[in-house]
A = this chain, B = another copy of it.
Amino acid sequence: MRSQSPPSVLRADAARNRERIIAAAAAVFAERGLDAATAEIAHRADVGEATLFRRFPTKDELIDAIIETRMEEVVALADAAASDPDPAVALERFMQDLVKQFSRDKGFFEAAGERCMSDPRFQPLRERAEAAVGRLLKGAQDAGAVRRDLSPSDISFLAGSALYAMEVSKPGLRDDLWKRYLRVILDGMKPEGASKLRPGAPKLG
């Protein structure tokens, strides 16, 4: 019987359920918007609705959990990329990873992006993400590979820009087109041929 399993198994079970619910909710919200039915999320996560509501009594708590998970992932992606010995390659790898993350969650971020960017509760996470991206950026700037007038928030906007081509060009176009445009953007981030940028990038949060 489940209730007689040792506590560590129960905790592992609960953590797995939580992850499954967050992954399912992100996918369902991305497809149907934030109005999606919780029944569909529970079904997709393969948990009962009772389990879903026990974990996340309101939809807002579920949305917040997705945002937190994704922002933690951004920090993890930046830290993983930072292990590359070449700071320019590290930044490039991070931006590619970020485009892939945006791409997976595009529908969700379109719906929840405002909350993600401006809700005070995410301020500490925004600062951690900005610091992690800032370390990558500074490394590439110190190596002379990236222009000095770019800020951490520019990095995420520019990565997002590369996604646009996918959005307007779904029919029949190769889905790796974003790599082509990210390449042009990365070249535009180099000091060679850099024009003066105006005005300054916004602070996130």
Chain A residues with CB under 8 Å of chain B are: 109-110, 113-114, 117-118, 150, 154, 157-158, 160-165, 167-174, 176-177, 179-181, 183-195, 197-199, 201-202
Contacts and interface: CB of A to CB of B under 8 A. Distances in A.
A188 B184 contact: yes
A171 B202 contact: no
A157 B181 CA distance: 8
Copies of the protein in its oligomer = 2
B185 A186 contact: no
Contact of A118 (B110, B165, B171): B171
Nearest to A156: B168
Listed from nearest, the 9 A-B pairs whose CB atoms lie closest are A188-B188, A192-B193, A187-B188, A190-B193, A161-B161, A184-B188, A192-B192, A157-B165, A161-B164
B171 A117 contact: yes
A160 B171 contact: no
Contacts of A194: 187
Contacts of A199: 174, 176, 180
Contacts of A114: 170-171
A197 B168 contact: no
A202 B187 contact: no
B195 A181 contact: no
Nearest to A202: B173
A163 to B, nearest CB: 6
Contacts of A169: 113, 117, 157, 202
